[in-house]
């Protein structure tokens, strides 16, 4: 694993641990550094990349970067050359980009910590029962595997080093198999990561690195990691970032929900976890960006107020890497009082350690007045640092505010001399503060009374607003999917426990066995306690031959289970389109099954039902059609091809295009416009797709609608 870290950290001999994400000190006399939180060892690597993202060439060089610059107070002595033409370059200071004076191309200097790999222990004795269990879960009947996994991992008998060494096999099964089986296996992984033996969790986290970045991956795996130690937080955040970039927003938000769980279970370590989260901020986007900014503001789940010193150092580190997010970061800064002289003096010393202008500006903006009982010498020291900055255009306003706050305790001699020397040329805020304490000052002209105005909130960055929208939508989908999968596993276990021999034969597709049982008098429409019949078991498990045999022997298509589902609906939910075509059905049953297929994102089921005559314009109680509630482009395309009315208006007068524009579904908007949806429609309140997109802050979407001619 690797972790990128800002250039400013490198200059101050700090980095980010690639194992857990905690900021760490670089070792002074050797190339490798060991993290004091997770215990993993890593080495600094320097990469030179093109600065233009559209450039087609691969990176020019990747080399180990343990140079004297680490050992000489951050002084850079390394040699760089342009990756475009090879011309020597001056090493950057705070910035990570260097422009070549010869060819004009940009080279990005990227620092990473690369983890030294470790091996999972293999010397311990094997538990034969656990090894056999893991192998048996890889093949055979799905129903048997689900029951076997659920029963095995309900307890702790198989939670041992043998299972830890084979956890990668469980993850491979979870990636490719039924979500119900994945959740059953997740119980075993969850017990491994929260076991008191740290080797178990280490084995799971190491194996999970090969699986958590797959957009088609398992929710259950991410949720299991959330039950583990704090050092698993970085893996969850990395997964959320990569999955979000790959378009898997729901799975990315599952990783964030797991991170919420992990933080709650390791709440005593939240100061270290807060550092891990903070130093992900310069490099993340999408839902993770919104989640990280919420943590920065002290919101759920972290509920942690970052120390001002920490935020100022981070602002210094981040200023060159992600300057557009500075306004979001400083929202977490306050002007909190310091308790004593020692801490105030330490804060003043920080001013000389900050490198970027923006960090120095916010140092002075956030500097409180000296604590009660502070010595005059301390006040004078603060004034002596701030007064020279009045000549600095970028820092003058912040320094003036800090000097004004000094007046709350006393006015040191340095201020009196400053007023005498500069008089009315001083900033207004400083003059006003001085006149409040010395109203008869002969050096300053009287000022008119100040009219108080509420502060203007800093504008939010569009990227942050879009990230918040993605987070909200992704969390909703992730929670719905998790609830559905967990309920499905619980229901399935109950359903399987009540199987008769005929039901078991139908589920396995054992047509001869089912025939023998029927010849012996088995009731073909007998139901188990959950209301499932043999035909339902065959339909839900895609056993077409068994369905044909049972129908030929008179099985009824009308029974419903305890949740009101028929065999047709169960087949639609399972996504077995070939069985849907075998089952006779009424128009009402096809409509019901189509809604089930759309809810479960079962494209093949929906296609089969539409071909069988299901109506794509079925209305719900709000007058909405499936085109308005469906958010999967592939399913929407099927509905459009089946003749769904593009511009139907619901009870509020809204069309499918309006619903998509209001919720920021860019892919849905594009598909509807390409299919001929009218962007000029207005609802009964006069809102158009364009106005709804703008009201919700979806500016990119609004531009697309404007280009399409929307009013």
Helix (H, G, I), strand (E, B) or coil at 48: strand
Instruction: Give the list of residues 6+ apart from residue 653 with CB closer than 8 angstroms, or none.
Output: 682, 683, 684, 685
- Report the C-alpha gap between 159 and 189 in whole angstroms: 9
What value does the mean pLDDT take over residues 337-359? 90
* CATH code of the region 619-711: 1.25.40.20
What value does the mean pLDDT take over residues 14-27? 83
Query: How is 283-325 classified by DSSP, letter by letter?
Result: G--HHHHHHHHHHHTT-TTT-----HHHHHHHHHHHTTT-GGG
Q: 25 forms bridges with which residues in the sheet?
A: 14
Worst-scoring range by mean pLDDT, 96-105, 247-256, 584-593? 96-105
Give the orientation angle of helix 501-508 with respect to helix 544-552, to 10 degrees: 130
Enter the tokens of residue 402.
């800090």
- Report the C-alpha gap between 113 and 43 in whole angstroms: 5
Which stretch of DSSP H or E encloses residue 44?
Answer: strand 41-50
- Report the C-alpha gap between 592 and 435 in whole angstroms: 77
Q: Please tell me whether the peptide bond between 301 and the residue prior to it is cis, using omega within 30 degrees of 0.
A: yes
What value does the mean pLDDT take over residues 250-262? 94
Q: Identify the pLDDT of residue 263.
A: 95
- Report the C-alpha gap between 373 and 381 in whole angstroms: 15
- Report the C-alpha gap between 409 and 588 in whole angstroms: 80
Contact in structure between 217 and 205 (CB atoms under 8 Å): no
* CATH code of the region 499-615: 1.25.40.20
- Report the C-alpha gap between 133 and 139 in whole angstroms: 11
Residues of the chain with pLDDT > 70, as a percent, come to 88
Q: How far is CA 170 from CA 188, 206, 579, 653, in A?
A: 9, 13, 30, 50
N residues, the chain: 711
- Report the C-alpha gap between 254 and 244 in whole angstroms: 11
Which stretch of DSSP H or E encloses residue 88?
Answer: strand 88-89
Q: Identify the pLDDT of residue 29.
A: 59
SS3 of 664-681: the string is: CCHHHHHHHHHHCCCCCC
Q: Identify the pLDDT of residue 79.
A: 59
Helix (H, G, I), strand (E, B) or coil at 563: coil
Helix (H, G, I), strand (E, B) or coil at 82: coil
Q: Identify the pLDDT of residue 71.
A: 35
- Report the C-alpha gap between 388 and 125 in whole angstroms: 70
Q: Read off the pLDDT of residues 434-445 as tens digits, 9 standing for 90 and up.
A: 998 999 999 999
Q: Examine the pLDDT at 9 and tell me if it is beyond 60.
A: yes
Enter the tokens of residue 57.
């060439």
The C-alpha angle 292, 296, 297, rounded to 5 degrees, equals 120
What value does the mean pLDDT take over residues 476-499? 79
Query: 336 pLDDT band (50/70/90 cuts)?
Result: confident
Q: Read off the pLDDT of residues 359-417 as tens digits, 9 standing for 90 and up.
A: 999 999 999 999 988 899 999 999 999 999 999 989 999 999 999 998 877 888 999 99
Q: Examine the pLDDT at 100 and tell me if it is beyond 60.
A: yes
Q: 63 forms bridges with which residues in the sheet?
A: 46
Nearest to 115 by CA among 64, 26, 63, 42: 42
Q: Please tell me whether the peptide bond between 548 and the residue prior to it is cis, using omega within 30 degrees of 0.
A: no
Q: Identify the pLDDT of residue 1.
A: 64
State how far Cα 124 lies from the chain centre.
37
- Report the C-alpha gap between 257 and 268 in whole angstroms: 19
Q: Read off the pLDDT of residues 33-44 as tens digits, 9 standing for 90 and up.
A: 888 888 888 877
Average pLDDT along the chain: 84
Owner of token pair 């045999």: 549
Q: Identify the pLDDT of residue 69.
A: 34
What value does the mean pLDDT take over residues 658-683? 88
In the chain, list all ranges with CATH 1.25.40.20: 499-615, 619-711
- Report the C-alpha gap between 347 and 367 in whole angstroms: 8
Of residues 688 and 102, which shows the higher confidence score?
688
Q: Read off the pLDDT of residues 488-540 as tens digits, 9 standing for 90 and up.
A: 777 777 777 778 999 989 988 899 999 999 999 899 999 988 899 999 999 98
Worst-scoring range by mean pLDDT, 319-323, 361-365, 511-515, 703-707? 319-323
CA dihedral 600, 602, 606, 608 (to 10 degrees): -140
Q: Please state the φ and ψ torsions of residue 678, each to the nearest 5 degrees.
A: -90, 115
Enter the tokens of residue 420.
């005498």
H-type helices in 520-625, by residue range?
Answer: 534-540, 544-552, 567-574, 577-580, 587-599, 603-611
Q: Identify the pLDDT of residue 260.
A: 94
Question: What pTM does this model have?
Answer: 0.71
Task: Pick left, alpha or beta for residue 563 (phi over 0 → left; psi -120 to 50 → alpha; otherwise beta).
Answer: alpha
Contact in structure between 522 and 502 (CB atoms under 8 Å): yes
Task: Pick left, alpha or beta for residue 688 (phi over 0 → left; psi -120 to 50 → alpha; otherwise beta).
Answer: beta
Q: Read off the pLDDT of residues 187-234 as tens digits, 9 standing for 90 and up.
A: 999 999 999 988 899 999 999 999 999 988 899 999 999 999 999 999
The widest CA-to-CA distance across the chain, in whole angstroms, is 115
Instruction: Give the list of residues 6+ apart from residue 334 with CB closer than 8 angstroms, or none.
Output: 308, 366
Q: For residue 423, what is the DSSP state?
A: G
Q: For residue 591, what is the DSSP state?
A: H
SS3 of 124-148: the string is: CCCCHHHHHHHHHCCCCCHHHHHHH
Which stretch of DSSP H or E encloses residue 631?
Answer: none
Q: Read off the pLDDT of residues 46-88 as tens digits, 9 standing for 90 and up.
A: 666 554 443 333 333 333 333 333 333 334 445 566 666 667 7
Which of 631-634's residues contact partners 24+ apart within 8 Å by CB, and which partners?
631/660, 631/663, 631/665, 631/668, 632/601, 632/603, 633/667, 633/668, 633/671, 634/603
Give the orientation angle of helix 341-350 with respect to helix 376-386, to 10 degrees: 20
């Amino acid at each position: 694993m690797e972790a990128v870290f800002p250039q400013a950290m490198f200059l101050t001999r700090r980095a980010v641990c690639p194992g857990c994400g905690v900021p760490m000190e670089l070792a002074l006399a050797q190339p490798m550094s060991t993290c004091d939180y997770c215990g993993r060892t890593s080495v600094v690597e320097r990469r030179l990349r093109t600065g233009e993202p559209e450039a087609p060439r691969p990176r020019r060089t990747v080399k180990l970067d343990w140079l004297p610059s680490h050992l000489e107070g951050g002084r850079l002595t390394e040699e760089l050359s342009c990756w475009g033409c090879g011309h020597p370059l001056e090493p950057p200071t705070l910035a990570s980009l260097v422009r070549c004076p010869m060819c004009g191309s940009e080279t990005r200097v990227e620092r990473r910590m690369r983890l030294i790999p470790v091996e999972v222990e293999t010397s311990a004795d094997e538990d034969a029962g656990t090894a056999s269990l893991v192998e048996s879960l890889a093949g055979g009947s799905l129903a048997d595997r689900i029951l076997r996994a659920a029963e095995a991992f309900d307890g702790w008998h198989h939670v041992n080093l043998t299972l830890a060494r084979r956890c990668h096999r469980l993850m491979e099964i979870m990636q490719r198999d039924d979500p119900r089986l994945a959740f059953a296996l997740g119980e075993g992984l969850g017990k491994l990561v929260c076991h008191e033996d740290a080797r178990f969790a280490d084995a799971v986290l190491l194996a999970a690195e090969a699986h958590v970045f797959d957009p088609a991956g398992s929710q259950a795996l991410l949720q299991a990691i959330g039950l583990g130690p704090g050092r698993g937080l970085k893996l969850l955040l990395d997964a959320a970032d990569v999955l979000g970039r790959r378009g898997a927003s729901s799975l990315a938000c599952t990783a964030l929900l797991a991170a919420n769980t992990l933080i709650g279970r390791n709440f005593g370590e939240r100061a270290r976890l807060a550092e891990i989260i903070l130093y992900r901020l310069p490099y993340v986007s999408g839902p993770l960006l919104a989640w990280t900014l919420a943590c920065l503001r002290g919101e759920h789940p972290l509920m942690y107020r970052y120390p001002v010193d920490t935020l100022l150092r981070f602002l210094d580190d981040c200023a060159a890497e992600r300057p557009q997010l500075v306004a979001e970061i400083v929202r977490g800064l306050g002007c909190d009082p310091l308790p004593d002289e020692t801490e105030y003096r330490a804060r003043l010393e920080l001013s000389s350690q900050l490198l970027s202008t923006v960090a120095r500006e916010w140092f002075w903006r956030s500097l409180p007045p000296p604590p009660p009982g502070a010595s005059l010498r301390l006040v004078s020291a603060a004034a002596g640092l701030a007064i020279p900055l009045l000549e600095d255009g970028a820092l003058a306003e912040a320094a003036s505010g800090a000097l004004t706050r000094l007046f709350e305790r006393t006015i040191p001699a340095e201020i009196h001399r400053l007023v005498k020397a500069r008089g009315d040329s001083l900033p207004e805020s400083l003059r006003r503060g001085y006149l409040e304490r010395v109203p008869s000052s002969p050096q300053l002209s009287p000022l008119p009374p100040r009219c108080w105005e509420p502060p203007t909130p800093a504008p939010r960055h569009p990227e942050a607003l879009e990230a918040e929208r993605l987070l909200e939508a992704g969390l909703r989908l992730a929670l719905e999917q998790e609830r559905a999968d967990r309920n499905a596993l619980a229901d399935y276990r109950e359903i399987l426990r009540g199987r008769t021999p005929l039901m078991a034969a139908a589920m396995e597709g054992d047509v001869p066995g089912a025939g023998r049982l029927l010849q012996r008098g088995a009731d073909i429409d007998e139901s188990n306690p959950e209301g499932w019949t043999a035909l339902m078991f065959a339909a839900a498990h895609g056993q077409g031959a068994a369905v044909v045999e049972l129908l030929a022997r008179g099985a009824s298509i009308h029974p419903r289970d305890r949740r009101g589902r028929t065999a047709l609906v169960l087949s639609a939910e399972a996504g077995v389109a070939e069985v849907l075509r075998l089952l006779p059905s009424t128009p009402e049953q096809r409509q019901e099954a189509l809604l089930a297929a759309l809810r479960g994102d079962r494209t093949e089921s929906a296609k089969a039902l539409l071909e069988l005559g299901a109506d794509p314009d079925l209305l719900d109680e709000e007058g909405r059609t499936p085109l308005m509630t469906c958010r999967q482009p592939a399913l929407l395309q099927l509905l459009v091809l089946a003749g769904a009315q593009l511009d139907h208006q619901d009870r509020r007068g809204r069309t499918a295009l309006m619903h998509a524009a209001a919720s920021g579904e860019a892919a849905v908007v594009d598909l509807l416009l390409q299919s001929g949806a009218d962007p000029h429609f207005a609802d009964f309140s006069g809102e158009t797709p364009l106005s709804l997109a703008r009201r919700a802050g979806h500016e990119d979407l609004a531009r697309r609608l404007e280009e399409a001619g929307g009013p």
